[in-house]
Structure 1
Amino acid sequence: MTDQKTTDDLRRLLAEDPEAADLALFGRVSHADRRGFLRGAGLAAMSTAVGMAIPYHRNIPQGFIPAAMAQGDPLAGKLGLILLSDRPVNAETPPELLDDDITPTDRHFIRNNGLLPDDMDPETWTLTIDGFVDTPLELSIADLREQFEVVSLALTLECGGNGRAFFDPPASGNQWTWGAVGCAEWTGVRLREVLDKAGVQANVVYTGHHGADTHLSGDPGKEPISRGMPIAKAMTDNILIAFAMNGADLHPMNGAPLRLVVPGWPGSCSQKWLTRIELRDQVHDGEKMGGDSYRVPAHPVAPGTEVPAEEFEIIERMPVKSVITFPANGAAPVTETEVRGHAWSGDRTIEAVDISTDFGATWMAAEVDPPLNDGAWQNWRASVVFPRPGYYEVWARARDSEGVMQPFAIDWNPKGYLNNAMHRVGLQVA
């Protein structure tokens, strides 16, 4: 049986100090040799962690942690996530692990399009601001800290494809269910203030974002993703160039050492491993800005319809949505329990959350907290009494500040974006 303490210790060590973890496991200190041999105690520790011998251990690359240990995160430090793909790494959080008001770093989802950069040293990292600006800037992380106000905000990030698994016919892409969302506390500087210092020229209409992650092909001339946003959105107060997450350095899988955080819009706008922001006089045409990437048909279409490229429009704000984080689906509560979760709606606030325990025949209002700040999700709760033992479902629906209600189901679209259908959990009431 796997030694859980060994497993957890190795996960956390790799997250906190990759070189020390690599030395402990592999007996190496140099990162120049990408494929050495495991030696002595390192092999013994890894074999103990996975619960058996590793026949091909000589082929294990430097920095590798077995999937049996990672449980959803090949680089460790993420606990309980469900791995959807490992090249690139994409992993979601089960709803019951999102119960915290602020999402812990080790439970925040991962959405990657390429491979992590080899060098993520915050001491040598630079950010370029160029394009149609009066004064191009090249800023270190130290410059950002010294020249601009450092702020911490709770901000909600959600993948545009969250909920894709529930489309019929199936939509291509990572089959996210409910857990490609989180609300961490991010620390950094306001994008608006950095752009103000560079001087935004009158002809600017869009930003273009660039990161240091590498394309899956290994071609240095290709970017895995390079998206942007209208300049009016970029100049709002709650968009951060972030260098910390929940009071610590960014996790490597969440964009260390520098990233954008654009709450309320698809997570693809929040470029990770951020190296450059260019100001454009046209809609940005970077990787995954065209075709059907992060776009939906401008009008409803029948399931399975082939939609011409010119009929797609770029996704901007995310729709009104809620998630139930307690009790977990399949739980067996007694006849009375608290039900709680979170709700959010793009650039808007949540006015109400209702829940039903009789398949939508009747609804009761939940208590809804105000957001901690603009861009944070809102926590909600309600006390529910079940009249007798049996199987029940709890449904939740949110209504935002513009009166838009979360639907029972949404129209199909080719890439499975923007699924904000009501969350439901089944309960076996004892």
Structure 2
Amino acid sequence: MKKERGLRELYEQDPIAADEAVFGRRSGHDRRGFLKGAGLAAMGAALGSTLPFGRTMPAGLIPAALADSLEDFVIEGKNGLTVLNDKPVNAETPPHLLDDDITPIKHYFIRNNGVPPQDISPDGWRLTVDGEVNEALDLSIQDLADRFEVVTLRLQHECGGNGRAGFNPPASGNQWTTGAIGNAEWTGVRMRDVLNAAGIKDSALYTAHYGADSHLSGDPNKRPISRGVPIWKAMDPHTLIVWQMNGQDIHPMNGAPLRILCPGWPGSTSQKWLTRIQVRDVIHDGTKMAAPSYSVPMYSVQPGAEVETSDFKVIESMPVKSLITYPRSGHRLPTGHRILRVRGHAWSGDDVVTALDISYDFGATWTRADLQAPPNRYSWQRWEAEITFPTKGYYEIWARATNHRGQQQPFVPPWNPKGYLNNAMHRIAVMVPA
């Protein structure tokens, strides 16, 4: 029996053959030649319009109008999140629901490694700070609020595997597309103030974070995750211990009643349901600290290659990235209109985004967008641009961010075995009818 395959699977396995299977392109021809002949008509028919810049469209590229229709099952009543799996619960946010400068709690993504604790009452919740300190601390949430300066910051927070679904060959793990990212307003205290109160010893090198969630197996001797950061990152004034998001209690699936928010680094360093911070004199060796977890090769590797464990490095700052949040992919302009204002956000781990460019001709030309400064460091940045389309047809809008180091989003990011750090340019489909 012939196995049925989805569009994304076809393109993952052999993008050139997929062109032939989907649009009737003959093998051995490049897409540029294909889009001058019958193939152009076939693709246009599938999209419902002509492609004014089809000649510059890369071979083996799924048009965004088709790629974005391949949505995962969405559980009704869950505020628009796309659920990737239910044990543990993981769900991402469609791009158009990330349009707010401050991500609403109802639209904030969920990334769990274990089973959340049942009792999340802030009353009686304790945080232990110990290890390479002069005085171990045992603090309640009220102690944190009373003893240390309470701050509120807008901070971007992203899963290290965001974008994993875009790698070819595929990498195992949750197949995030673009929505494992949020930018909430977090309230809490600086981790450095708490560590300073405990008195950090000269031997301090790394933190170790522990939460109240349990392992999926139910084995009390196993931890679902326990990661940490270098002391210098823990002492950054933007690394917080928080108990509120957007002025409310943290959502249970987002780590209530207490969590770390370590912005700009993989979300796995921002321990949820926080119960302990241990200061260590070695790099932490907790669950999911060892390669290949949250690690990438130290050098470029061929897609699909096997990499020795010793050749991995732990992910720290996340790469430069951007998202188009308006309009929604598949947008159709009214008849007679060819002007469209687009907008979105850009961010770059520990860095600042300095430029955002957009293209509507598959990267042949680029236009600079208006980019706002962040309200505070580590917040994402709003951008907007106006596009005038030259003629009717099918268009793709691509967004490309550049940070202050000159690092820029690629069209195809470096492949890695675990599917981390995909910062490919985001693209959406737009139809111009006349």
Identify the TM-score tier after normalising by the shorter chain: 0.7 to 0.9
**Could you tell me whether the CA contact under 8 Å between 1:161 and 1:416 is conserved in 2?**
yes
Q: Secondary structure at the match of 2:186?
A: strand
Could you tell me which residue of structure 1 aligns to residue 267 of structure 2? 267
Corresponding residue for residue 328 of structure 2 = 328
1:252-290 residue CA offsets vs partner (Å, 9 max, x unmatched): 000000000011000000000000000000000000000
Aligned equivalent of 2:251: 251
Shift of 1:72: 4.0
- Residue 174 to residue 200, structure 1, CA distance change in 2 (3 Å): same
Residue 399 (structure 2) pairs with residue 414 (structure 1): no
Is 1:349 the counterpart of 2:332? The answer is no
2:397 counterpart residue number: 394
Once residues 301 and 368 of structure 1 are traced to their aligned partners in structure 2, the CA distance between those partners, rounded to angstroms, is 34
Letter in 2 for 1:79: N
What do residues 307-327 of structure 1 show as CA deviations (whole Å, max 9, x unaligned)? 111111000000000010011
- TM-score between the two structures when normalised by the length of structure 1: 0.82
Quick check: 1:384 aligned with 2:387?
Answer: yes
Q: Secondary structure at the match of 2:196?
A: helix
Distance across 2 between alignment mates of 1:429 and 1:182? 31
Counterparts of 2:156 and 2:273, CA distance in 1: 18
In 2: Cα distance, 1:89 partner to 1:217 partner: 15
Letter in 2 for 1:311: D
What aligned pairs does 1:279-318 form with structure 2 within 5 A after superposition? 279-318=279-318
Using the alignment, how far apart are the partners of 1:261 and 1:332 within structure 2?
A: 39
Q: State the alpha-carbon separation in 1 of the partners of residues 75 and 116 from structure 2.
A: 16
CA distance in 2 between partners of 1:403 and 1:284 (Å): 32
Work out the CA distance in 2 between the residues paired with 1:71 and 1:322.
24
Q: Structure 2 counterpart of 1:170, which letter?
A: P
- The alignment partner of 2:143 has SS state of helix
C-alpha separation between the residues in 2 aligned to 1:379 and 1:136? 42
Q: Which residues of structure 2 form unaligned runs of 5+?
A: 1-72
Residue 350 of structure 1 aligns with an amino acid whose one-letter code is: V
- TM-score (structure 2 length as normaliser): 0.81
* Counterpart pick for 1:375 among 358, 363, 378: 378
| Identity across matched positions, percent | 60
Instruction: Please report the RMSD computed on the Cα atoms of aligned residues, expressed in angstroms.
Output: 1.1
2:22 paired residue number: none
- Residue pair 2:291, 2:313 contacting (<8 A) in 1 also: no
Task: Give the structure 1 partner of residue 241 of structure 2.
Answer: 241
Aligned counterparts of 2:74 and 2:299: Cα–Cα separation in 1? 40
Corresponding residue SS for 1:268: helix
Partner secondary structure for residue 232 of structure 2: helix
How many residues are treated as equivalent by the alignment? 358
Q: CA deviation at 1:389?
A: 1.6
**Which residue number in structure 2 is paired with residue 134 of structure 1?**
134
CA apart distance, 1:108? 0.6
- State the distance in 1 between where 2:305 and 2:391 align: 45
For 1:167, the aligned partner's letter is F
Give the letter for the 1:104 counterpart: P
Contact in 2 for aligned 1:72/1:91 (Cα 8 Å): no
> Aligned equivalents of 2:75 and 2:113: distance in 1?
16
Change (3 A) 1:230 1:247: same
Corresponding position of 1:63: none
Does the alignment pair 1:98 with 2:101? no
